[in-house]
Amino acid sequence: MAVAAENQSQPPQNDLPYVLILKPPAAFSIFGDHFFHSPKFQFLKAFESPLPLSQFLLTHAQSVQAILTSASGSVTADTIRLLPHLGLVVTTSQGINHIDLSECRRRGIAVAGAGTIFSTDCADSAVGLLLDVLRKVSAANRYVKQGLWSSQGNYPLGNKLGGKQVGIVGLGSIGTEVAKRLEAFRCSISYNSRSKKPSVPYTFYPNVVELAVNCDALIICCALTDETHHLIGKEVLSALGKDGVIINIARGPIIDEKELVQCLIKREIRGAGLDVFEHEPDVPVELLALDNVVMSPHNAVCTTESLEELRKTVVRNFEAFFSNEPLLTPVPLDDLPHLSG
Protein backbone atom coordinates (compact mmCIF):
# COMPACT_ATOMS: atom_id res chain seq x y z
CA MET A 1 0.00 0.00 0.00
CA ALA A 2 2.84 2.40 0.84
CA VAL A 3 4.43 1.73 -2.56
CA ALA A 4 1.10 2.35 -4.31
CA ALA A 5 0.63 5.64 -2.47
CA GLU A 6 4.15 6.72 -3.37
CA ASN A 7 3.59 5.90 -7.04
CA GLN A 8 0.30 7.79 -7.15
CA SER A 9 2.00 10.90 -5.79
CA GLN A 10 4.62 10.95 -8.56
CA PRO A 11 4.13 13.29 -11.54
CA PRO A 12 4.26 11.99 -15.12
CA GLN A 13 7.80 11.42 -16.31
CA ASN A 14 8.40 13.79 -19.24
CA ASP A 15 9.83 17.22 -19.83
CA LEU A 16 6.58 19.19 -20.09
CA PRO A 17 6.06 21.92 -17.44
CA TYR A 18 3.69 21.14 -14.59
CA VAL A 19 0.34 22.80 -13.86
CA LEU A 20 -1.06 21.98 -10.43
CA ILE A 21 -4.78 21.31 -9.94
CA LEU A 22 -5.86 21.34 -6.29
CA LYS A 23 -9.54 20.52 -6.93
CA PRO A 24 -11.12 19.41 -10.21
CA PRO A 25 -12.91 22.22 -12.09
CA ALA A 26 -16.61 21.66 -12.80
CA ALA A 27 -15.80 21.20 -16.48
CA PHE A 28 -14.03 17.94 -15.62
CA SER A 29 -17.27 16.39 -14.37
CA ILE A 30 -19.03 17.43 -17.58
CA PHE A 31 -16.40 16.78 -20.24
CA GLY A 32 -13.75 14.67 -18.52
CA ASP A 33 -10.29 15.52 -17.20
CA HIS A 34 -8.89 15.79 -20.73
CA PHE A 35 -10.90 18.99 -21.29
CA PHE A 36 -7.95 21.40 -20.88
CA HIS A 37 -5.39 19.10 -22.49
CA SER A 38 -2.46 20.62 -24.36
CA PRO A 39 0.72 19.14 -25.81
CA LYS A 40 2.66 22.01 -24.21
CA PHE A 41 2.08 21.29 -20.50
CA GLN A 42 0.87 18.56 -18.16
CA PHE A 43 -1.34 18.49 -15.10
CA LEU A 44 -0.36 17.45 -11.60
CA LYS A 45 -3.62 16.43 -9.91
CA ALA A 46 -3.43 16.83 -6.16
CA PHE A 47 -6.99 15.58 -5.75
CA GLU A 48 -6.01 12.15 -7.11
CA SER A 49 -3.20 11.64 -4.62
CA PRO A 50 -3.67 9.73 -1.32
CA LEU A 51 -1.19 12.10 0.30
CA PRO A 52 -2.42 14.94 2.51
CA LEU A 53 -2.38 18.17 0.50
CA SER A 54 0.44 19.75 2.52
CA GLN A 55 2.63 16.67 2.00
CA PHE A 56 1.74 16.53 -1.68
CA LEU A 57 2.72 20.18 -2.14
CA LEU A 58 5.99 19.70 -0.30
CA THR A 59 6.75 16.66 -2.45
CA HIS A 60 6.24 18.55 -5.70
CA ALA A 61 7.14 22.09 -4.59
CA GLN A 62 10.09 22.37 -6.96
CA SER A 63 8.11 21.19 -9.99
CA VAL A 64 5.00 23.35 -10.02
CA GLN A 65 5.14 26.43 -12.24
CA ALA A 66 1.42 27.20 -12.57
CA ILE A 67 -1.96 26.45 -10.96
CA LEU A 68 -5.36 25.81 -12.52
CA THR A 69 -8.21 26.57 -10.15
CA SER A 70 -11.93 27.36 -10.11
CA ALA A 71 -14.37 29.20 -7.87
CA SER A 72 -14.56 26.17 -5.54
CA GLY A 73 -10.78 25.86 -5.13
CA SER A 74 -9.04 28.41 -2.91
CA VAL A 75 -5.48 29.43 -3.69
CA THR A 76 -4.30 30.73 -0.33
CA ALA A 77 -1.13 32.50 0.76
CA ASP A 78 -0.07 29.31 2.56
CA THR A 79 -0.35 27.31 -0.67
CA ILE A 80 1.48 29.95 -2.69
CA ARG A 81 4.36 30.09 -0.19
CA LEU A 82 4.95 26.36 -0.55
CA LEU A 83 5.58 26.71 -4.30
CA PRO A 84 8.80 28.68 -4.90
CA HIS A 85 8.65 28.44 -8.71
CA LEU A 86 4.97 29.35 -9.10
CA GLY A 87 4.56 32.01 -11.78
CA LEU A 88 0.89 31.86 -12.84
CA VAL A 89 -2.55 31.14 -11.42
CA VAL A 90 -5.36 30.61 -13.94
CA THR A 91 -8.96 30.40 -12.76
CA THR A 92 -11.87 29.11 -14.80
CA SER A 93 -14.18 31.64 -13.15
CA GLN A 94 -14.88 35.31 -13.75
CA GLY A 95 -14.82 35.92 -9.99
CA ILE A 96 -11.42 35.90 -8.32
CA ASN A 97 -12.22 36.14 -4.62
CA HIS A 98 -10.89 32.60 -4.05
CA ILE A 99 -7.33 33.65 -4.92
CA ASP A 100 -5.07 35.56 -2.53
CA LEU A 101 -4.32 38.38 -4.96
CA SER A 102 -2.24 40.33 -2.46
CA GLU A 103 0.15 37.41 -2.04
CA CYS A 104 0.30 36.93 -5.81
CA ARG A 105 1.18 40.58 -6.27
CA ARG A 106 3.79 40.42 -3.51
CA ARG A 107 5.41 37.38 -5.12
CA GLY A 108 5.16 38.65 -8.69
CA ILE A 109 2.80 35.84 -9.70
CA ALA A 110 0.54 36.54 -12.67
CA VAL A 111 -3.19 35.77 -12.51
CA ALA A 112 -5.52 35.08 -15.42
CA GLY A 113 -9.30 34.67 -15.31
CA ALA A 114 -12.16 33.92 -17.66
CA GLY A 115 -12.24 37.52 -18.84
CA THR A 116 -15.64 38.43 -20.28
CA ILE A 117 -16.43 34.96 -21.63
CA PHE A 118 -19.38 34.47 -19.28
CA SER A 119 -20.75 38.01 -19.37
CA THR A 120 -23.45 37.55 -22.02
CA ASP A 121 -24.69 34.18 -20.71
CA CYS A 122 -24.77 35.53 -17.17
CA ALA A 123 -26.71 38.60 -18.29
CA ASP A 124 -29.21 36.36 -20.11
CA SER A 125 -29.73 34.38 -16.89
CA ALA A 126 -30.15 37.52 -14.79
CA VAL A 127 -32.90 38.87 -17.03
CA GLY A 128 -34.45 35.40 -17.26
CA LEU A 129 -34.62 35.14 -13.49
CA LEU A 130 -36.15 38.61 -13.24
CA LEU A 131 -38.80 37.74 -15.83
CA ASP A 132 -39.52 34.44 -14.09
CA VAL A 133 -40.04 36.07 -10.69
CA LEU A 134 -42.20 38.89 -12.03
CA ARG A 135 -44.33 36.76 -14.39
CA LYS A 136 -44.33 33.72 -12.03
CA VAL A 137 -43.28 31.40 -14.84
CA SER A 138 -41.82 28.59 -12.72
CA ALA A 139 -44.58 28.81 -10.12
CA ALA A 140 -47.29 28.70 -12.82
CA ASN A 141 -45.52 25.77 -14.45
CA ARG A 142 -45.72 23.81 -11.18
CA TYR A 143 -49.37 24.80 -10.82
CA VAL A 144 -50.22 23.29 -14.21
CA LYS A 145 -48.11 20.15 -13.73
CA GLN A 146 -49.72 19.46 -10.36
CA GLY A 147 -53.15 19.46 -12.03
CA LEU A 148 -54.34 22.51 -10.10
CA TRP A 149 -55.52 24.55 -13.09
CA SER A 150 -58.59 22.38 -13.65
CA SER A 151 -59.46 22.07 -9.97
CA GLN A 152 -58.60 25.54 -8.63
CA GLY A 153 -58.96 27.80 -11.66
CA ASN A 154 -56.63 30.40 -13.09
CA TYR A 155 -53.27 31.11 -11.49
CA PRO A 156 -52.70 34.56 -9.90
CA LEU A 157 -51.40 37.21 -12.29
CA GLY A 158 -47.79 38.32 -12.36
CA ASN A 159 -46.25 41.71 -13.10
CA LYS A 160 -44.74 43.13 -16.28
CA LEU A 161 -41.04 43.85 -16.69
CA GLY A 162 -41.47 46.59 -19.28
CA GLY A 163 -40.97 50.07 -17.87
CA LYS A 164 -39.69 48.92 -14.47
CA GLN A 165 -36.96 50.83 -12.65
CA VAL A 166 -34.03 48.43 -12.34
CA GLY A 167 -30.88 49.03 -10.29
CA ILE A 168 -27.64 47.23 -11.12
CA VAL A 169 -25.01 46.76 -8.41
CA GLY A 170 -21.69 46.58 -10.23
CA LEU A 171 -21.67 47.98 -13.76
CA GLY A 172 -18.77 45.90 -15.03
CA SER A 173 -18.88 43.61 -18.06
CA ILE A 174 -21.82 41.56 -16.75
CA GLY A 175 -23.75 44.54 -15.42
CA THR A 176 -23.32 46.37 -18.72
CA GLU A 177 -24.70 43.38 -20.64
CA VAL A 178 -27.67 43.22 -18.25
CA ALA A 179 -28.37 46.91 -18.86
CA LYS A 180 -28.30 46.42 -22.65
CA ARG A 181 -30.94 43.70 -22.41
CA LEU A 182 -33.16 45.71 -20.09
CA GLU A 183 -33.11 48.66 -22.47
CA ALA A 184 -35.08 46.47 -24.89
CA PHE A 185 -37.80 46.24 -22.24
CA ARG A 186 -37.83 50.05 -21.91
CA CYS A 187 -36.66 49.78 -18.31
CA SER A 188 -35.29 52.80 -16.48
CA ILE A 189 -31.77 51.78 -15.45
CA SER A 190 -29.64 53.06 -12.58
CA TYR A 191 -26.55 51.67 -10.95
CA ASN A 192 -24.12 51.62 -8.06
CA SER A 193 -20.42 51.12 -8.62
CA ARG A 194 -17.07 52.11 -7.19
CA SER A 195 -17.24 55.28 -9.24
CA LYS A 196 -19.50 57.03 -11.70
CA LYS A 197 -19.00 56.00 -15.32
CA PRO A 198 -19.16 59.09 -17.57
CA SER A 199 -19.67 57.00 -20.72
CA VAL A 200 -23.05 55.55 -19.71
CA PRO A 201 -26.44 57.32 -19.68
CA TYR A 202 -27.75 55.57 -16.56
CA THR A 203 -28.37 57.29 -13.22
CA PHE A 204 -25.57 56.73 -10.71
CA TYR A 205 -26.14 56.25 -6.98
CA PRO A 206 -23.04 56.16 -4.76
CA ASN A 207 -25.06 54.46 -2.02
CA VAL A 208 -26.75 51.06 -2.46
CA VAL A 209 -29.56 51.95 -0.05
CA GLU A 210 -30.40 55.04 -2.10
CA LEU A 211 -30.30 52.91 -5.25
CA ALA A 212 -32.73 50.40 -3.72
CA VAL A 213 -35.16 53.13 -2.66
CA ASN A 214 -35.44 54.22 -6.28
CA CYS A 215 -35.83 50.77 -7.85
CA ASP A 216 -38.43 48.10 -8.47
CA ALA A 217 -35.71 45.47 -8.86
CA LEU A 218 -32.08 45.14 -7.85
CA ILE A 219 -29.66 42.95 -9.82
CA ILE A 220 -26.38 42.01 -8.13
CA CYS A 221 -23.47 41.86 -10.60
CA CYS A 222 -20.48 42.95 -8.50
CA ALA A 223 -17.50 40.90 -7.37
CA LEU A 224 -17.23 39.49 -3.85
CA THR A 225 -14.66 41.40 -1.81
CA ASP A 226 -14.30 42.38 1.84
CA GLU A 227 -16.21 45.56 0.97
CA THR A 228 -19.12 43.78 -0.75
CA HIS A 229 -19.55 40.93 1.74
CA HIS A 230 -23.13 41.26 3.07
CA LEU A 231 -23.46 44.50 1.12
CA ILE A 232 -27.13 43.61 0.71
CA GLY A 233 -28.58 43.37 4.21
CA LYS A 234 -31.70 44.34 6.10
CA GLU A 235 -31.35 48.06 5.36
CA VAL A 236 -31.08 47.58 1.59
CA LEU A 237 -33.88 44.99 1.47
CA SER A 238 -36.17 47.27 3.48
CA ALA A 239 -35.36 50.13 1.13
CA LEU A 240 -36.27 47.91 -1.83
CA GLY A 241 -39.70 47.43 -0.26
CA LYS A 242 -42.59 44.97 -0.47
CA ASP A 243 -42.93 45.34 -4.26
CA GLY A 244 -39.20 44.93 -4.88
CA VAL A 245 -37.39 42.00 -6.47
CA ILE A 246 -33.74 41.04 -5.97
CA ILE A 247 -31.66 39.00 -8.41
CA ASN A 248 -28.22 37.59 -7.59
CA ILE A 249 -25.99 36.06 -10.27
CA ALA A 250 -22.74 37.25 -8.65
CA ARG A 251 -21.67 35.57 -5.38
CA GLY A 252 -23.87 34.33 -2.54
CA PRO A 253 -22.18 36.11 0.39
CA ILE A 254 -22.83 39.53 -1.14
CA ILE A 255 -26.34 39.12 0.32
CA ASP A 256 -26.94 38.49 4.00
CA GLU A 257 -28.82 35.25 3.34
CA LYS A 258 -30.50 35.02 6.75
CA GLU A 259 -31.98 38.49 6.33
CA LEU A 260 -33.08 37.71 2.79
CA VAL A 261 -34.86 34.51 3.89
CA GLN A 262 -36.79 36.37 6.56
CA CYS A 263 -37.78 39.17 4.17
CA LEU A 264 -39.08 36.63 1.66
CA ILE A 265 -41.00 34.61 4.25
CA LYS A 266 -42.62 37.76 5.65
CA ARG A 267 -43.27 39.08 2.12
CA GLU A 268 -41.31 42.22 2.93
CA ILE A 269 -40.05 42.05 -0.68
CA ARG A 270 -41.94 40.66 -3.68
CA GLY A 271 -39.49 37.93 -4.62
CA ALA A 272 -35.97 36.80 -5.50
CA GLY A 273 -34.12 35.08 -8.33
CA LEU A 274 -31.00 33.37 -6.99
CA ASP A 275 -28.26 31.57 -8.89
CA VAL A 276 -25.78 31.76 -6.00
CA PHE A 277 -25.95 31.11 -2.27
CA GLU A 278 -23.93 31.89 0.82
CA HIS A 279 -23.02 28.29 1.71
CA GLU A 280 -23.10 26.39 -1.58
CA PRO A 281 -24.24 23.80 -2.35
CA ASP A 282 -26.45 24.10 0.74
CA VAL A 283 -29.60 26.15 0.17
CA PRO A 284 -31.78 27.43 3.06
CA VAL A 285 -34.61 24.93 3.40
CA GLU A 286 -37.08 27.76 3.93
CA LEU A 287 -36.63 28.87 0.32
CA LEU A 288 -37.70 25.54 -1.14
CA ALA A 289 -41.39 26.04 -0.37
CA LEU A 290 -41.63 29.67 -1.50
CA ASP A 291 -43.31 30.37 -4.85
CA ASN A 292 -41.84 33.88 -4.92
CA VAL A 293 -38.30 32.49 -5.20
CA VAL A 294 -36.72 31.12 -8.38
CA MET A 295 -33.37 29.33 -8.01
CA SER A 296 -30.67 27.76 -10.15
CA PRO A 297 -27.53 25.84 -9.04
CA HIS A 298 -24.83 28.45 -9.72
CA ASN A 299 -24.90 27.79 -13.45
CA ALA A 300 -25.88 31.21 -14.80
CA VAL A 301 -22.52 31.40 -16.54
CA CYS A 302 -22.57 27.91 -18.03
CA THR A 303 -23.58 27.07 -21.57
CA THR A 304 -22.02 24.61 -23.97
CA GLU A 305 -20.73 27.51 -26.03
CA SER A 306 -19.22 29.46 -23.14
CA LEU A 307 -17.43 26.42 -21.75
CA GLU A 308 -15.85 25.69 -25.12
CA GLU A 309 -14.64 29.29 -25.25
CA LEU A 310 -13.35 28.87 -21.68
CA ARG A 311 -11.41 25.76 -22.70
CA LYS A 312 -9.63 27.64 -25.47
CA THR A 313 -8.87 30.61 -23.23
CA VAL A 314 -7.48 28.55 -20.34
CA VAL A 315 -5.25 26.50 -22.63
CA ARG A 316 -4.00 29.57 -24.50
CA ASN A 317 -3.20 31.38 -21.24
CA PHE A 318 -1.00 28.50 -20.09
CA GLU A 319 0.62 28.10 -23.48
CA ALA A 320 1.34 31.83 -23.61
CA PHE A 321 2.89 31.73 -20.13
CA PHE A 322 5.16 28.79 -20.93
CA SER A 323 6.18 30.50 -24.19
CA ASN A 324 6.95 33.83 -22.46
CA GLU A 325 4.15 35.54 -24.37
CA PRO A 326 1.44 37.95 -23.06
CA LEU A 327 -1.55 36.35 -21.32
CA LEU A 328 -4.92 36.51 -23.04
CA THR A 329 -6.98 37.47 -19.99
CA PRO A 330 -4.69 38.87 -17.29
CA VAL A 331 -6.16 40.09 -14.02
CA PRO A 332 -4.78 43.52 -12.98
CA LEU A 333 -3.14 43.25 -9.57
CA ASP A 334 -2.27 46.93 -9.17
CA ASP A 335 -5.80 48.00 -8.18
CA LEU A 336 -6.82 45.85 -5.22
CA PRO A 337 -9.41 45.11 -4.03
CA HIS A 338 -10.53 44.05 -7.50
CA LEU A 339 -14.21 44.88 -7.93
CA SER A 340 -16.20 44.20 -11.07
CA GLY A 341 -17.70 47.56 -11.92
- Annotated catalytic residue 229: no
CATH of 118-295, one of 3.40.1710.10, 3.30.9.10, 3.40.50.720, 3.40.50.620: 3.40.50.720
Q: Name the active-site residue from 280, 308, 309, 319.
A: 280
Question: pLDDT tier at 2 (50, 70, 90 boundaries)?
Answer: very low
Q: Name the active-site residue from 251, 270, 278, 338.
A: 251
217-220 sheet: strands from edge to edge: 203-204, 188-192, 165-169, 217-220, 245-248, 271-274, 293-295
Residue 339 has pLDDT above 50, yes or no: no
- Annotated catalytic residue 338: no
CATH of 18-117+305-323, one of 3.40.50.720, 3.40.50.300, 3.40.50.1170, 3.10.129.10: 3.40.50.720
Question: pLDDT tier at 336 (50, 70, 90 boundaries)?
Answer: low
Distances from the Cα of 224 to the Cαs of 77, 99, 232, 238, in angstroms? 18, 12, 12, 22
79-98 pLDDT, tens per residue? 999 999 999 999 998 888 89
Average pLDDT of every residue of the chain: 93
Segment holding 121, helix H or strand E: helix 119-135
Question: pLDDT tier at 341 (50, 70, 90 boundaries)?
Answer: very low
Q: Give the start-to-end residue ranges of the domains of the chain.
A: 18-117+305-323, 118-295
Domain pair 18-117+305-323 / 118-295, same fold: yes
Residue 266 has pLDDT above 70, yes or no: yes
Strands (E), the chain: 18-21, 42-45, 64-69, 88-91, 110-112, 165-169, 188-192, 203-204, 217-220, 245-248, 271-274, 293-295
174-189 mean pLDDT: 98
244-248 mean pLDDT: 98
- Annotated catalytic residue 60: no
128-177 pLDDT, tens per residue? 999 999 999 999 999 999 999 999 999 999 999 999 999 999 999 999 99
Q: Name the active-site residue from 60, 270, 298, 338.
A: 298
DSSP state of 292: T
